[in-house]
Amino acid sequence: MTRPARRRRFEHLPPFPGLETIIRVYHLPPPAIQYLTALTEAADGVGLVRTLDEERGIVECWIMPDFEHEFDQILAATAAQWPLQPLDDTRE
């Protein structure tokens, strides 16, 4: 038995004409991933941290354009505690 196609809830709304999300990729020690994630989540609306490879310590950070400065402050606080290295994001 097949289910009927599910209608998307907000398909009638036009796309938001705002700025594109900034995506950055970093390498940091695995314990620092939780720290960076917690700080980013505590600063509501700044962005989110997505773990790409926990064992190797690679994360993808999605940053709201209006909060890039605030995210850079969070990143500086993390870099003060652990080594942090930006990686090239080949998807852009």
User: Which residue type is seen at 40?
Assistant: T
Residue 63 has pLDDT above 70, yes or no: yes
pLDDT recorded at residue 39: 95
pTM equals 0.74
Residue from 23, 80, 17 nearest 47 by CA: 23
pLDDT beyond 80 at 71: yes
Q: What is the dihedral of CA 61, 67, 72, 78, to 10 degrees?
A: -60
Per-residue pLDDT, 88: 78
